[in-house]
């Protein structure tokens, strides 16, 4: 309750100083260890609704349980994009731009936060490959070149497409670099206080019960 009151005071001060109002049409999610009466008290103090099922925030899951199922929406969006009637008559050049600018850009935001399952990345790459080789008349096509070859730079005979698992690792490693080079930013301070209070990012162990984000960045 003390923590809830402190958060409420911070929100009130922010509203008074900025002239902006916080939207309280939000949900609060508790772990199973929090008693029901305490949940109701905290929800009453903050003025938000209590939820038993975590929702998504900015299209990303707030709680990761079954990883592949959490990110199935990405695959569904890929399928919807490739089936869109407006791209059926694209030229080869148009397909290349569509793949690089639209399809391979869809998972970037999620990849900056989470290490996506490798099988999911392979499914997405398979969808891209099918779209690339697809014949407009039969809706099928022969895959004349391996996907790893397609991901090579054009100077080496490829198309410069992204290897999604490797690209995912690179984006997470960039977050790790941010923790090293910007230790005073809010993200770095929170991570340090929670996971390596008496150490630094490079030397710290993974620790017990890390979040999926922490595990993803540490692995990268």
Say whether both 149 and 187 belong to one domain: no
The answer to whether position 59 is within a domain reads no
Quick one: average pLDDT of 170-177? 96
Contact 196, 183 (CB under 8 A): no
- Which tens digits make up the pLDDT trace of 47-90? 888 877 666 665 666 666 666 567 778 888 888 888 886 777 78
More confident call, 52 vs 113? 113
- In a 13 Å sphere around the CA of 161, the CA atoms on its Cβ side amount to 26
Domain extent, residue 42, equals 2-53
Contact 78, 107 (CB under 8 A): no
Say whether both 107 and 183 belong to one domain: no
Mention every residue, 6+ apart, whose C-beta is less than 8 A from residue 175.
Answer: 112, 217, 220
For residue 75, the model assigns a pLDDT of: 87
Say whether both 37 and 128 belong to one domain: no
Say whether both 191 and 105 belong to one domain: no
* Mean pLDDT computed over every residue of the chain: 87
Looking at the predicted structure, is the pLDDT value of residue 101 above 70? Answer: yes
SS3 for 29?
strand
Quick one: average pLDDT of 104-132? 91
The answer to whether position 106 is within a domain reads yes
Picking from 146, 167, 188, the residue at the C-terminal end of a domain is 167
């Amino acid at each position: 309750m003390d923590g809830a009151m402190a958060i409420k005071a911070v929100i009130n001060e922010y509203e008074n100083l900025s002239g902006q109002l916080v939207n309280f049409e939000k949900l609060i999610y508790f772990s199973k260890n929090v008693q029901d009466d305490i949940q109701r008290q905290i929800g009453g103090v903050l003025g938000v609704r209590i939820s038993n099922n975590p929702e998504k925030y900015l299209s990303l899951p707030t709680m990761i349980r079954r990883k592949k199922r959490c990110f199935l929406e990405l695959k569904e969006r890929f399928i919807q994009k490739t089936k869109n009637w407006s791209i059926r008559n694209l030229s080869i050049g148009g397909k290349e731009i569509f793949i690089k600018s639209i399809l391979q850009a869809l998972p970037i935001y999620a990849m900056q936060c989470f290490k996506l399952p490798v099988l999911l990345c392979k499914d997405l790459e398979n969808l891209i490959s099918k779209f690339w080789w697809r014949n407009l008349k039969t809706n099928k096509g022969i895959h004349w070149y391996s996907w790893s070859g397609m991901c090579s730079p054009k100077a080496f005979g490829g198309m410069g497409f992204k290897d999604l698992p490797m690209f995912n690792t690179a984006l997470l490693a960039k977050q790790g670099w941010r923790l090293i080079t910007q230790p005073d930013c809010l993200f770095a301070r929170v991570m340090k206080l929670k996971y390596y209070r008496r150490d630094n990012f490079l030397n710290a162990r993974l620790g017990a019960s890390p979040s999926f984000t922490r595990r993803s960045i540490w692995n990268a």
